[in-house]
Structure 1
Amino acid sequence: MSDLFKVEPAAPLAEALRPRTLDEVIGQPHLLGPGKPLRLAFESGKPHSMILWGPPGVGKTTLARLTAHAFDCEFIALSAVFSGVKDIRAAMEQAERNLAMGKRTILFVDEIHRFNKSQQDALLPYAESGLVTLIGATTENPSFEVNSALLSRSQVYVLQPLGDDDLRRLLDRARATELAHLDFDEAAVDTLIGYADGDARRFLNLLEQTGTAAGASGTTRITAEFVQNALTLNARRFDKGGDNFYDQISALHKSVRGSNPDAALYWLTRMLDGGADPRYLSRRIVRMAWEDIGLADPRAMQLANDAASTYERLGSPEGELALAQAVIYMAVAAKSNAGYKAYNQARAFVRQDKSREVPVHLRNAPTKLMKELGYGHEYRYAHDEPNAYAAGETYLPDGMPEPGWYQPVPRGLEIKIGEKLAFLRKLDEEAGKK
């Protein structure tokens, strides 16, 4: 018996506009265009297990539902945030009942990267036997977060954020139904697209918030100023522990290394805007100074450390200016990875080499016995030699050739360092001829 007094809640705009067919999906032309992988998979007539990898709001859940519809399968959805092995077993029991009635089952696991290894292992035999076709959705790199057994049995499809033109098409679709009474000027559309950050769900939620605010204020003309005043904005697409985080810090580091101050500033401010811990950024900036600038401009190390100290003292937002200026300086500074390479080569050598003895003339001799054993004998005190350099002296273990790990680059201060080392090598050669 129906409840005459029960009022069904209106579906959110994002749900109301969810595509009902593959042709209604906006975006992902590299997967859904004619002759492209997912389009061909739909046309094949046979579903297969897959992992849909991409940022939020790009259609992962929609594609999973469309797969079930296209192949006339029952659809079971689990969220890895709330589900465990017990829920997996219950889903499999339902899949067995579906099979008994002649129905195949699509098992959709949202945020599959949040399942631990044992939970992922629990899915494996059912996907392997064909009881279910597994579709996993993840915002994290599946090669790190999904176990190899599941990966080997699934096709991975990479979904991209929606472009500006995609979001404009989505706006047109919304205005044809729910928002037909509103007039958006071009600046307002650009503002909404910028806030959406390639996320269709967020874009539609922002449109819905804008429509609600317009209704409350009695306006139909939507301007950029109205949008900015009406919306409660969340942080941009940014995961402090995920791929997006590490991609952005990588872009910052490479922009500094590539001597592009504007790009370095862009990625720094993107990360700060997204909620990255400035102390973490401080540590990475210091690392960049040592790794990519080194002795070509030692002032970069000092500036990076000073910027970190300034942030500790002032906090946000004042301390962020110090980080920004350190990044600018480092981007325009002379670059050298000679010290970084030399250290890595030395470390690799020591790890695989035998334990060589310290040469007797370099050993410490604090006791009479040690002196009698020759410790420190014939050691040449560099300050007593011409140019404060003991030409021809050896400092490596006996029998170990000069490795030549540190090779100064012809940039910045390392030009002078290279010239000095060449001069000292010349003194060694002359000493060897005597």
Structure 2
Amino acid sequence: MDVKKVVLAYSGGLDTSIILKWLIETYQCQVVAFAADLGQGEDLSGIEEKALKTGAVKARVEDLKEEFVRDFVFPAFRANVIYEGQYLLGTSIARPLIAKRQVEIAHEEGADAVSHGATGKGNDQVRFELTYMTLDPSIKVIAPWREWDLKSRQALMDFARHHGIPVPVTKEKPYSCDANLLHISYEGGILEDPWKEPDPSMFTLTVDPEKAPDKPETIEIEFQKGDPVAVNGEKLSPAALLARLNEIGGRHGVGRADVVESRFVGMKSRGVYETPGGTILRIAHRAMESITMDREVMFLRDSLIPQYAKLIYNGFWFAPERVALQSLIDTSQQTVTGTVRVKLFKGHCMVTGRKSDLSLYDPELATFEEEDVYQQSDATGFIRLQGLRLRIQSLVRKGRKQG
């Protein structure tokens, strides 16, 4: 494959530094290193200099936190997205944005190829490459982990030393982790045994629920058309709001999950996640919907959550079916406006109140005391009609037995 210039998704770590040099050597091409700040909490100030020293012709570091939360996290959370009942898709939601910006930078820089550091066993390779194909089907894609002969950690270290790439002297973590403003994930290494309990010292965003404050904290979250806009009455930007909920939820140990999930490529894998702000948002959002969303609309939307989550998990963010689902979901959110109160205590997030000017909840209809609003005798015919098919089935069965 003839390649002139590549835009590499670059983190500044050992692996992507090796990939940068390997691309130059293997394809005799120029490399533009692109690092996205998605709120991972790392100091990215020296990443440009490091990329240039490793051989990049240009390095770009871009703050994408607001776009990440506004255009990716919030749309997914309007759908109450969750994968296999536990995973809030923190990594899955982030990859399409990085890949999208890679393609845009490739156009800006006159590059004819893009590259990523995802391995050949995981989901990220699919998420990156499906996005590339959707946004620019003509762009060339280089996946080093599926091409090179650096098959061991030692081979990577030797390559790095040979090319003067700094090798960290710190002890390697016994697991891999990935972070952004929505979550942090831990996978591999010591976590590959699903029976082994995670080391309590591993967690960084949340305190141990057992060591969380003995006094609960109550907060209020305001929603407009399905999106959170304020915490405790303070209007905040999308990224600032999620960061605030991360901080509040983290100190109460909210948002830990230990999951064995089904990868798109066909294998099971274990992931341990911390998603404090996202956990609070999902619980509060469902509470907001409970008084503002029509029952049948909610049932329809809820039936689509597994499909929507699978599309994101499998890398189909920009696919037409995900876009179509989003349109339906956003239509369902037009009345989801109001305020939810939640109490946080030792790893738990409990709804304690909800209110809205668009509420469908009517105390006069809900009460058991009044007879002039809802005639209880009307239920007789309603129940008989609902049970008609059940009575018919029973009568038919009895007739067959008697016959």
The TM tier, using the shorter chain, reads: under 0.3
| Greater relative contact order (Cα < 8 A, sep 6+) | 2
Q: Structure 1 or 2: larger strand share?
A: 2
Q: TM-score normalised to the size of structure 2? A: 0.28
Q: TM-score normalised to the size of structure 1? A: 0.26
Q: Could you say which structure has the larger radius of gyration? A: 1
